[in-house]
Structure 1
């Protein structure tokens, strides 16, 4: 009798949750009148050449230094670039060349971080005066697996994700974990911090789910399903109401935080490879994604269940190997892509 009562209560809770979701899901893309995108494409304006190994990650600086970015390569170097002039502002040799992620601190633009198969998050000062830096100011050690992604939350804290299926929120000055998030059942491949509320972040994992976390609650707030394979990349919509994902199932998807549901899918029968990275334009109209087939495809984020990209980067101006990372500058004026062909390209 007790088991039956428990099952009945569980079913009632499920129905109540579904009802609340449907109440928040008060419209679809198909019901909206959407103006078409103008015929346009991105052109490669700059080429950042200086790495001698595969480029694995890049990240733009904050708005006060919107033309700067940091990149990480298998050659064992972090390079801080001025994307406008293509000058290398700082080169940082790493203890381990197996780097998988890098991040630029967004408030003061005076720190960069990286990590990879060494299981560490290493943080370096960027002062603009010295051209080389050899020693990390902090090395954060608590993960039991490779570091897949890191993102600063202000100048005092950083968020990391790992192959050990966890995310950790750190105090940089003390070098100590403040919170650990263990809700995923597979490697966590990417994290993104909410653009207006630094207590919230979203993650993507090899368990094919993405999750919303609240640092104050030290746990998962919501789980988003829909992908059929590893989620390699997550990124927030500019207003923070939605986020986009990219997966090995060859699709990008958009999820809404208000109704806890998927609101759009972007995939094509002609694109059969995985997605490595995603980003939104400053207006949110464009979803940009880097692919294993050397291409960067641009989707109309408002077009329902898009079956083909709005446009793609020119093959003649594109990369000659896997597009491993991409990002839109903090002022929205440029797109940078990094590739296993050792190059970074800046489009506008």
Structure 2
């Protein structure tokens, strides 16, 4: 501060403090919507995506599915109480496990491909080691790892087979040690059922995002258990959250019939994917490998394909005969698998 006449002066200089603010993205860009910045980018050409495989074998609604890292196998779980491991090329069922409860709402493949995890209305998340012996009774080797006080809605392995993340209807998420079943970290911040979670794609990723019935999406630090960012622009339940391939953003799907795109660096929503003709809730989302396309499954039995940058719909995929519960792009980006309440899974390419 400048010295006034009544202040005593001395020979020491007044210290000057310079504050430097660094933003990787210019501020005007952060305050714009994505489609405004993408006006001069070429539109996505016509897509020729068709059903290439139809996977039949479940006796009730297929609630979840996940790809193996080998890009060939996948696991699905159903209201019939079964978990099935499929070969996506030959359609062979490699493993089938019947669980003691119906509504197996979550399933995930381990990074090594040597185990799958599943959970649902039994409030537990169990890990099942897969064996080369097709005749072995896998149900007997099932190991309970996580225990919640309400249903398990989602599960995913971290970057190894040794830890697993779960989300639950008890309003919490949790990180567990697979070997001991010990709770390593719990995440509290949602005020209603947590319906979905997704791990940041980075190899050293220490964050994940969750969405729930409180209309909120929350970003969490796995080491501290702290909620580091929250977004509340949906008008109904957030059914699914999925990170953008770069890890700098994520998309959400909601019962309000919209999908939304949030930039984590800008700390705000930058795009909404909606049309007046879409009146049914969105249940699930996933990105193409490049991040240019967003695949969204809806309760009107369709999968809409959105141009992430321009915010326009580029295609609609028809084929399922009931609501689409899950869409997942294969690890190499060459195919899309969808699970549905019509008891089937479809592989599109």
TM-score between both structures, scaled by the size of structure 2: 0.88
Residue of structure 2 in register with 1:121 after alignment: 125
Q: Which has the higher helix share?
A: 1
Q: Distance in 2 between matches of 1:224 and 1:303?
A: 22
* SS of 1:71 mapped into structure 2: strand
* SS of 1:134 mapped into structure 2: helix
* SS of 2:301 mapped into structure 1: coil
Residue of structure 2 in register with 1:6 after alignment: none
1:170-226: per-residue Cα shift (whole Å, max 9, x none)?
011110110111111111000000000431100001111101001112110100121
Residue of structure 2 in register with 1:185 after alignment: 191
Residue of structure 2 in register with 1:216 after alignment: 223
Q: 1:163 to 1:23 in 2, by over 3 A?
A: farther
Q: How many residues align?
A: 321
1:35-56: per-residue Cα shift (whole Å, max 9, x none)?
1101113100011111111111
Residue of structure 2 in register with 1:16 after alignment: none
Q: Which has the larger radius of gyration?
A: 2
Matched, 1:175 2:220: no
Q: Distance in 2 between matches of 1:26 and 1:271?
A: 27
Unaligned runs of at least 5 residues, structure 2: 1-24
Work out which of the residue numbers 25, 35, 42 in structure 1 matches 2:42. Answer: 35
Q: Distance in 2 between matches of 1:175 and 1:23?
A: 48
Q: Distance in 2 between matches of 1:293 and 1:119?
A: 29
* SS of 2:233 mapped into structure 1: coil
How is 1:1-348 mapped onto 2 (pairs within 5 angstroms)? Answer: 25=30, 27-29=32-34, 30-32=36-38, 33-62=40-69, 65-106=70-111, 108-131=112-135, 132-153=137-158, 154-196=160-202, 197-304=204-311, 306=312, 309-313=313-317, 315=318, 318-348=319-349
TM-score between both structures, scaled by the size of structure 1: 0.89
- Confirm or deny: 8 A CA contact 1:206 1:230 kept in the other structure: yes
Q: 1:183 to 1:23 in 2, by over 3 A?
A: farther
What do you get for the CA RMSD once the two structures are aligned? Answer: 1.8
1:60-96: per-residue Cα shift (whole Å, max 9, x none)?
111xx11110000112110000111111111111111
Q: CA deviation at 1:275?
A: 1.1
Q: Distance in 2 between matches of 1:252 and 1:342?
A: 25
* SS of 1:135 mapped into structure 2: helix
Q: 1:142 to 1:52 in 2, by over 3 A?
A: closer
Q: CA deviation at 1:127?
A: 2.6
1:103-153: per-residue Cα shift (whole Å, max 9, x none)?
1112x1111111111100011011333255122442134311110000001
* SS of 2:74 mapped into structure 1: strand
Q: Distance in 2 between matches of 1:141 and 1:293?
A: 34
